[in-house]
């Protein structure tokens, strides 16, 4: 069976991780990546020996790339014509413009969470609504927080049903290396409900969700606390077992040294993971408690990498590579090496 040909538009925080993730999929071929300028990510790509072909998103900027010694294989329009599906990781609003190009050539595309929902046919999550993405032309991923949140809620929902959730998101203010948000020593609260709660209900309309978001002056990871009301009464130990069985949820504990977001980032680096990435969300077993019929727990969201597996699930859905969500997500997990720690336990 021929490999599915994939291109990536935007080689930034998410785009470079999408490229690496697709390159690991043995049933996919990464044709190339597109960007507009010799950014630090593109310069690093050159110093790595150009493992991926680079296409210029703006033909008039080709000279800037070549002046920096970066070889250019063509334009974004050239790349689009060579692929089956595009992963669009460009800045918010740019993807909607790129959609015109994808439509022109009848190509499928998957947009990241920063685009507006109306850019796509389906608001997509690999575990919660994989079937809705089958053979669609355009998908939009959920944001990093929503992706991890839905993993945890869907996990319990499929075992015991979930009536409602209340969430508090302790949100990193910027990605590592970003300066545009300035230097700060303050917390900031957004109006409720947070968009993550609203987005969860869009993906899982049978769950009543609300939430509050707090911006914090840190860069490595978000933490979400969740109070969940299952439809079926379950114990904290039962919930913990369900979480532990999920391939993209890693159960950790304070006693092991996982004290917070920084501990998880350091651990990922010590594992030798590129860029200190983890595809799994971490769930602290020390936080799983029961209050009457509710289950409360806390999770860590590695914001730069958490959406990569679901993005690849999206390729499998739109291309009809696997019709079953478990077969699809398991295949993605296998090639990304997700769940390796479980083999050691």
CATH code of 224's domain: 3.30.360.10
Structural contact between residues 80 and 86, judged by C-beta atoms closer than 8 angstroms: yes
Q: What is the largest CA-CA distance in the chain?
A: 65
Question: Residue 175: phi, psi to the nearest 5?
Answer: -75, 155
Exposure of 38 in the CB half-sphere (CA atoms within 13 A): 14
Which structural domain range is residue 242 located in? 144-301
Share of the chain above pLDDT 90, in %: 87
Binding residues for NAD(+): 35
CATH code of 107's domain: 3.40.50.720
Number of domains in the chain: 2
What's the pLDDT tens digit per position in 244-282?
Answer: 999 999 999 999 999 999 999 999 999 999 999 999 999
Q: Are strands 138-141 and 122-124 parallel, antiparallel or unpaired?
A: parallel
What residues are annotated to the active site? 144
Same domain, 41 and 165: no
Same domain, 190 and 129: no
Same domain, 194 and 225: yes
What's the pLDDT tens digit per position in 150-208?
Answer: 999 999 999 999 999 999 999 877 777 666 667 677 889 999 999 999 999 999 999 99
Three-state SS at 315 = helix
Same domain, 100 and 221: no
Report the sign of the C-alpha dihedral through residues 197, 203, 207, 208, in that order: positive
Same domain, 175 and 222: yes
Same domain, 149 and 261: yes
- What does the DSSP 8-state code read for residue 287? G
């Amino acid at each position: 069976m021929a490999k599915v040909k994939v291109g990536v538009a935007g080689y930034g925080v998410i785009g470079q991780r999408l490229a690496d993730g697709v390159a690991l999929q043995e049933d996919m071929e990464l044709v190339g990546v597109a960007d507009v300028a010799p950014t630090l990510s593109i310069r690093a790509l050159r110093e790595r020996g150009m493992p991926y072909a680079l296409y210029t998103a703006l033909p008039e900027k080709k000279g800037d790339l070549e002046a920096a010694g970066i070889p250019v294989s063509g334009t974004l329009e050239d790349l689009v014509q060579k692929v089956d599906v595009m992963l669009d990781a460009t800045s918010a609003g740019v993807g909607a413009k790129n959609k015109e190009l994808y439509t022109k050539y009848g190509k499928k595309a998957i947009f990241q969470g920063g685009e507006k929902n109306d850019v796509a046919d389906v608001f997509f999550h690999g575990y919660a609504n994989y079937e809705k993405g089958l053979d669609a032309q355009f998908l939009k991923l959920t944001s990093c927080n929503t992706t991890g949140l839905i993993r945890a809620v869907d996990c319990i929902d499929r075992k015991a049903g979930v009536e409602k959730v209340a969430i508090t998101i302790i949100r990193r203010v910027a990605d590592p290396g970003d300066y545009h948000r300035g230097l700060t020593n303050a917390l900031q609260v957004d109006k409720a409900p947070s968009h993550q709660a609203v987005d969860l209900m869009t993906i899982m309309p049978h769950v009543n969700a609300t939430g509050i978001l707090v911006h914090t002056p840190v860069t490595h990871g978000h933490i979400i606390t969740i109070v969940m009301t299952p439809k079926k009464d379950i114990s904290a130990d039962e919930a913990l077992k369900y979480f532990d069985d999920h391939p993209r949820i890693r159960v950790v504990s304070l006693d092991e040294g996982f004290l917070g977001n920084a501990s998880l980032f350091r651990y990922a680096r010590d594992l030798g993971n590129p860029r200190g990435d983890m595809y799994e969300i971490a769930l602290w077993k020390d936080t799983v408690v029961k209050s009457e019929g509710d289950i409360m727990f806390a999770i860590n969201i590695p914001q730069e990498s958490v959406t990569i597996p679901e993005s690849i699930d999206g390729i499998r859905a739109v291309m009809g590579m696997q019709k079953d969500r478990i077969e699809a997500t398991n295949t993605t997990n296998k090639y990304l090496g997700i769940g390796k720690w479980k083999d050691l336990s």
